[in-house]
Amino acid sequence: MAQPNLEPTVCAGDVLGAYLRSQATAFLRGLRLHGESAASGADAAGGFDAARSLRGAARRISGSLATFRVVTESSWADGLRTELVWLSSTLADEHAYAARLDRLMDALHRLSGGSEVPSPRGSAGALTVGSARAGALLERQLTLARTRSHSATLQALGSARFHAVADAVAVLASEVPLDAVAARGRVDDVLVPLAAVAETRLSAAVAALPSAEGTHPYNADHDGRWHEVRHLLRVHRYAREALGDDVTRAAAAGEALDRHRDAAEAAAASATAARTPRIAPATAYALGVLHADQRHEVEAARFDFRQIWLPAPLASSGGAVTPR
């Protein structure tokens, strides 16, 4: 029964089908765990982990359906992809607000001197006055937003729309609707060129990013282009994953862009909180410091991404580079 030299007979449909089935299985497992943790009321740790793996599987399925669209039944793929994007973004909100609050509280703690160093004079002392109130304000605003998205998540998970998605993914776990012709092609002829298209799109977006010199850190004008790179890097990474390639570097670069997005959103939340009517000047001052701090984290994340992702420069000078 053993077939020696099996590889040449593996076709595009086999590889893509195996990847989609494994992700569909992960999706369903995450869904089950999410439901269990919601039922048991143990929302914090288990629920977050379940929601995270659910979102990860949803993103991998929708990303692969986009990249390898022509290898699948395209109209089915388009429909499922739309629904998965809706679901994962709905699920992401609640987690994002919680993570943003954690990030801002950590930063405030650090900025106001934290537990590390007692600060007898000047700036840090002045900051402590407002940072407690700034923290309370941010907590109130972000907890409210988080509660709203928790309700939205519960509503979504109880909707007919959600049950239709879950049913579609359950079908996908056993049977992937493929394009009969394209799926029979060789991996190198079909999947590899499609993955290369995703990579080309990413490279073009990276090349079009504004240079590090021309920007200043408090300007959020360029954030959108960086968020787009983050999205394209994910699509690229999932395509490579489907092909069984090593994605370590893409994952590390993606983490830098996740930090970039988180810091940009945290800076925006701080600026929003500073526009709250009738806050004390000390509170506004602390929010200003916090905003600037998070924008510097944005810059640091951009620097980290470039270090990880862009080709290393010639090691001629031997000097280190400062991200200014």
- Please list every residue from 44 through 73 that binds a copy of itself, using CB under 8 A: none
- Please give the Cα distance from 45 to 89 (Å, whole number): 20
Q: Contact between 304 and a copy of itself (CB under 8 A)?
A: yes
Q: Check if the beta carbon of residue 156 is closer than 8 Å to that of residue 58.
A: no
- Cβ closest to a copy of itself, residue 44 vs residue 212: 212
Q: Contact between 311 and a copy of itself (CB under 8 A)?
A: no
How many Cα atoms occupy the beta-carbon half-sphere of 70 within 13 Å? Answer: 12
In the complex, minimum distance from the CB of residue 285 to a copy of itself, in angstroms, rounded to a whole number: 4
Q: Contact between 290 and a copy of itself (CB under 8 A)?
A: yes
- In the list 19, 138, 291, 309, the residue contacting a copy of itself (rule: CB under 8 A) is 291
How many Cβ atoms from other residues are within 10 Å of residue 196's Cβ?
13
Amino acid, res. 209: L
- Please give the Cα distance from 20 to 320 (Å, whole number): 43
For 105-113, the CB contacts below 8 A with 24+ separation are: 105/135, 105/138, 105/139, 107/266, 107/290, 107/293, 107/294, 107/297, 108/134, 108/135, 108/138, 108/286, 108/290, 111/286, 111/289, 111/290, 111/293, 112/286
Mask for 260-279, x = binds a copy of itself (CB under 8 A): -------xx--x--xx--xx
- Please list every residue from 108 through 137 that binds a copy of itself, using CB under 8 A: 110-111, 113-114, 116-117, 119-124, 126-127, 130
- In the list 10, 154, 220, 310, the residue contacting a copy of itself (rule: CB under 8 A) is 220
Q: Contact between 303 and a copy of itself (CB under 8 A)?
A: yes
Q: Which residues of this chain interact with a copy of itself, rule CB under 8 A?
A: 110-111, 113-114, 116-117, 119-124, 126-127, 130, 216-221, 267-268, 271, 274-275, 278-293, 295-296, 300, 303-304, 307, 312-313, 315, 318-324
